[in-house]
């Protein structure tokens, strides 16, 4: 069925603003079909399951029908469960956000009567409730229906299966004859047909066929994640699985911009697409993405249409889509061309009920997953680094450094210790596993220098290690050994060395951290058993000497000095 923009459905400005705030860019098939028909005043029978986007389909015309000046119940929405009632109430509240004076209240068993009494007495115009509690309020006289304009039965078949038929009939007999009546149900058995025939007047029958189909080659996993933890969860999953090419779907344009900025700040190569981006820029982004000019596209559903890419590794549903059809369209972008794909979905709070409804409607095979721990992230990074070393050795893609190795061997170091020291420097293992996993900064991604952080312990020796090993051709941080002072540099003496297990990264980190100077003020470093010599830019030498005095490095209080002939002779 067709989809149309919401601004073509004859909606008021207040509703269009609310829809825009919710991030919807166009109506789903059921919304396109149902909204204009309801707004014409006709009774409607909609055959469509939960997960097809029908909540918005009936909530929009319901809010449009409410007169804010009348402080009485004008819309009654009946739901089979309190979970669904709460979900519908939340969606309805979002749609009514800009329509001043409109109040809604969910009423269901298990919640305090007092809160419901207050909301009804205050003049709530929209009531969303379960049949039993609604009938209870009617009998108490706290729910008056004489001003009712619209009655909506959501998931009618489930309500009948749960034994609510008598309650529903009791409610329908009590509402005004002039009310408009809407039935929504996945199936229309004889019992529902009887209700329609007895209480509805010339209804419009609208049936939405499910076109959503499960993608058999796609592994689908969902994660229950607090909204504030989604970005951390996303980056952990990317790093653990070493994903390099995928789409991250968000529901709103604002969320696309926000997530794109956060991922850039963490060093991931991303770009974005949504409805506010010009066609020329959109074409540039899509062309660059097809040729793998960046790793992850952050996009809304509408903006990603027409993007034909066959080799995506993963699709992330950072926000849950509006309906099951959008879900299957999203995940269908991975697992193409005979390749296996993955689709990861984040749900927060009561969104789990919406996802479960989508699963039932579209017969999805979605498994529950757990977010990787910090230790698992670190282990995955280590494995990636190990494979990089192994493949480099197998392919012999390295330049021999026999002279330097011979020098180290001549000084009595074991070959295994030399290898361990090099891996220590390259892999950034001066940071512990928890620190390493906290804020990934891949060396092969566009990001601020890993040592650009504040605090006395800042510096390459304490930076967050890369989220994964660098790609071939991307150099990692490494200080050259001293072979003679560089022009414009001054040599300083520091009273720490190999005995304290000091590394070049420790030295640069300590200098950059305590002075707040950029790391490039430090040149070559030569580390000896009990001391080291470090070249620094002459213009900053005095400041560095002053700031380092008394600062501890590897537990040793520093006593820095300008290097003299005695120090050099000790080399």
Give yes or no: residues 383 and 283 share one domain.
Answer: no
Kindly report, residue by residue over 33-53, the tens digit of the pLDDT: 899 999 999 999 988 755 567
Domain boundary among 141, 172, 207: 207
Full domain range(s) for residue 106: 6-207
Give yes or no: residues 346 and 404 share one domain.
Answer: no
Confidence of residue 443 (pLDDT cuts 50, 70, 90): very low
Q: Distance between terminal CA atoms of the chain?
A: 80
Give yes or no: residues 117 and 59 share one domain.
Answer: yes
pLDDT at 566: 52
Give yes or no: residues 44 and 123 share one domain.
Answer: yes
Instruction: Give the span between the Cα atoms of 303 and 281, in whole angstroms.
Output: 12
Confidence of residue 401 (pLDDT cuts 50, 70, 90): confident
Query: Is 188 within the bounds of a domain?
Result: yes
Q: Which uninterrupted H or E stretch holds 116?
A: helix 113-121
Contacts (Cβ under 8 Å, ≥6 apart) of 44: 34, 37, 38, 182, 183, 203, 204, 206
pLDDT at 405: 85
Give yes or no: residues 412 and 349 share one domain.
Answer: no
Give yes or no: residues 332 and 189 share one domain.
Answer: no
pLDDT at 464: 33
Query: Is 531 within the bounds of a domain?
Result: yes
β-strand partners of 106: 128
User: Tell me, what CATH number does 188's domain have?
Assistant: 3.40.50.300
Query: Is 102 within the bounds of a domain?
Result: yes
116-152 residues labelled b (16+ CB within 10 A) or e (exposed):
beebbeeebbbbbbbbebbbbbbeeeebebeebbbbb
For residue 175, how many other CB atoms are within 10 A of its CB?
A: 18
Give yes or no: residues 383 and 349 share one domain.
Answer: no
Confidence of residue 391 (pLDDT cuts 50, 70, 90): confident
- Out of 72-86, 254-268, 436-450, 485-499, pick the least confident: 436-450
Query: Is 457 within the bounds of a domain?
Result: no
Interaxial angle between packed helices 230-241 and 374-395, expressed in degrees from 0 to 180 and rounded to the nearest 10: 30
Q: Would you say 218 and 334 are in contact if contact means Cβ atoms under 8 Å apart? A: yes
Query: Taking 80 as the threshold, does the pLDDT of residue 322 lie above it?
Result: no
Instruction: Give the span between the Cα atoms of 432 and 466, in whole angstroms.
Output: 13
Mean pLDDT of 535-544: 92
Total count of domains within the chain: 4
- H helix intervals, 332-447: 351-362, 374-395, 402-410, 415-427, 433-438
Domain boundary among 207, 228, 247: 207
Q: Would you say 176 and 148 are in contact if contact means Cβ atoms under 8 Å apart? A: yes
- Out of 107-116, 238-247, 313-322, 390-399, pick the least confident: 390-399
The phi and psi torsions of 557 (rounded to 5 degrees) equal -70, 130
pLDDT at 452: 29
Q: Would you say 567 and 531 are in contact if contact means Cβ atoms under 8 Å apart? A: yes
Confidence of residue 448 (pLDDT cuts 50, 70, 90): very low
pTM equals: 0.50
Query: Is 1 within the bounds of a domain?
Result: no
Instruction: Give the span between the Cα atoms of 351 and 353, in whole angstroms.
Output: 5
Query: Taking 50 as the threshold, does the pLDDT of residue 442 lie above it?
Result: no
Q: Would you say 9 and 36 are in contact if contact means Cβ atoms under 8 Å apart? A: yes
Instruction: Give the span between the Cα atoms of 132 and 113, in whole angstroms.
Output: 13
Mean pLDDT of 515-531: 86
Give yes or no: residues 531 and 385 share one domain.
Answer: no
CA-based nearest residue to 120, from 142, 152, 102, 150: 142
Instruction: Give the span between the Cα atoms of 102 and 126, in whole angstroms.
Output: 8
Confidence of residue 427 (pLDDT cuts 50, 70, 90): low
pLDDT at 49: 55
Query: Is 455 within the bounds of a domain?
Result: no
Query: Taking 70 as the threshold, does the pLDDT of residue 206 lie above it?
Result: yes
Q: How many CA atoms lie within 13 A of 310 on its CB side?
A: 3
Give yes or no: residues 131 and 165 share one domain.
Answer: yes
3-class SS of residue 418: helix
Mean pLDDT of 461-468: 35
* DSSP class of 458: -
* DSSP class of 14: H
Query: Taking 60 as the threshold, does the pLDDT of residue 512 lie above it?
Result: yes
Mean pLDDT of 232-252: 91
pLDDT at 213: 52
Q: What is the DSSP annotation of 146-213?
A: TT--EEEESSHHHHHHTT-HHHHHHHHHHS-TT-EEEEEES---HHHHHHHHHH-SSPEEEE------
Kindly report, residue by residue over 335-375, the tens digit of the pLDDT: 765 667 899 999 998 888 888 888 877 778 899 999 988 88
Give yes or no: residues 489 and 542 share one domain.
Answer: yes
Q: Would you say 94 and 21 are in contact if contact means Cβ atoms under 8 Å apart? A: yes
State percent of the chain over pLDDT 70.
Answer: 84
pLDDT at 571: 53
Instruction: Give the span between the Cα atoms of 183 and 192, in whole angstroms.
Output: 9
Instruction: Give the span between the Cα atoms of 242 and 543, in whole angstroms.
Output: 43
Domain boundary among 321, 341, 372: 372
Give yes or no: residues 195 and 305 share one domain.
Answer: no
Query: Is 357 within the bounds of a domain?
Result: yes
pLDDT at 428: 55
User: Tell me, what CATH number does 528's domain have?
Assistant: 3.30.70.330
CA-based nearest residue to 56, from 83, 105, 13, 16: 16
Give yes or no: residues 363 and 384 share one domain.
Answer: no
Of residues 88 and 479, more confidently modeled = 88
Q: Mean pLDDT of all residues in the chain?
A: 81
Query: Is 459 within the bounds of a domain?
Result: no
pLDDT at 150: 96
Confidence of residue 441 (pLDDT cuts 50, 70, 90): very low
Kindly report, residue by residue over 109-129, the tens digit of the pLDDT: 888 899 899 999 999 999 999
Q: Count H helices and E strands in the chain, helices first.
A: 21, 20
List of E strands, 94-136: 104-107, 126-129
């Amino acid at each position: 069925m067709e989809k149309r923009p919401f601004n073509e459905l004859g909606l008021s400005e207040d509703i269009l603003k609310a829809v825009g705030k919710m991030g919807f860019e166009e109506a789903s098939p059921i919304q396109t079909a149902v909204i204009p028909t309801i707004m014409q005043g006709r009774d409607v029978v909609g055959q469509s399951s939960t997960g097809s986007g029908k909540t918005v389909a009936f909530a929009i015309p319901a809010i449009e029908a409410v007169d804010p000046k009348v402080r009485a119940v004008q819309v009654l929405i009946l739901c089979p469960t309190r979970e669904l009632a709460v979900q519908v109430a939340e969606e309805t509240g979002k749609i009514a956000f800009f329509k001043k004076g409109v109040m809604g209240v969910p009423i269901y068993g298990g919640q305090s009567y007092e809160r419901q009494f207050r909301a009804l007495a205050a003049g709530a115009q929209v009531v969303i409730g379960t049949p039993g509690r609604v009938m209870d309020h009617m009998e108490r006289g706290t729910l008056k229906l004489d001003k009712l304009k619209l009655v909506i039965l959501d998931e009618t078949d489930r309500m009948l299966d749960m034994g609510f038929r008598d309650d529903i009939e009791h409610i329908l007999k009590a509402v005004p004859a002039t009310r408009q009546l809407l039935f929504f149900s996945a199936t229309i058995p004889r019992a529902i047909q009887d209700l329609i025939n007895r209480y509805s007047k010339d209804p419009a029958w609208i049936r939405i066929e499910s076109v959503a189909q499960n993608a058999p080659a796609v592994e689908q996993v969902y994660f229950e994640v607090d909204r504030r933890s989604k970005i951390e969860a996303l980056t952990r999953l990317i790093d653990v699985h070493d994903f390099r090419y995928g789409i991250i779907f968000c529901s709103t344009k604002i969320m696309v911009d926000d997530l794109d900025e956060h991922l850039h700040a963490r060093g991931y190569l991303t770009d974005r697409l949504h409805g506010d981006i010009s066609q020329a820029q959109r074409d540039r982004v899509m062309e660059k993405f097809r040729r793998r000019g960046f790793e992850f596209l952050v996009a809304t559903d509408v903006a990603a249409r027409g993007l034909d890419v066959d080799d995506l590794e993963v699709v992330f549903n950072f926000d849950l889509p509006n309906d099951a059809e959008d879900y299957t369209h999203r995940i269908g972008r991975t697992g193409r061309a005979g390749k296996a794909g993955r689709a990861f979905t984040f749900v927060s709070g009561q969104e789990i009920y919406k996802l479960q409804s989508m699963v039932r409607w579209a017969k999805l095979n979605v498994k529950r997953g757990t977010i990787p721990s910090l230790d698992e992230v670190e282990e995955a990074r280590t494995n990636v680094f190990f494979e990089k070393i192994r493949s480099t050795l197998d392919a012999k893609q390295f330049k021999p450094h026999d002279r330097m190795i011979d020098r180290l061997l001549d000084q009595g170091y074991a070959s295994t210790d030399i290898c361990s020291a090099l891996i220590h420097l390259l892999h950034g293992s001066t940071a512990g596993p928890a620190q390493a996993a906290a804020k990934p900064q891949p060396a092969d991604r566009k990001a601020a220098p890993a040592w650009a952080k504040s605090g006395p312990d800042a510096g390459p020796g304490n930076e967050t290690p890369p989220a994964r090993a660098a790609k071939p051709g991307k150099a990692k941080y490494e200080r050259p050994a001293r072979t003679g002072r560089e022009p414009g540099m001054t040599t300083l003496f520091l009273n720490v060395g190999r005995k304290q297990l000091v590394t070049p990264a420790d030295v640069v980190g300590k200098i950059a951290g305590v002075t707040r100077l950029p790391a490039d003020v430090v040149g070559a470093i030569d580390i000896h058993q009990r001391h080291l010599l470090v070249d620094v830019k002459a213009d900053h030498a005095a400041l560095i000497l002053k700031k380092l005095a008394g600062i501890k490095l590897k537990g040793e209080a520093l006593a820095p000095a300008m290097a003299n002939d005695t120090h050099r002779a000790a080399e």
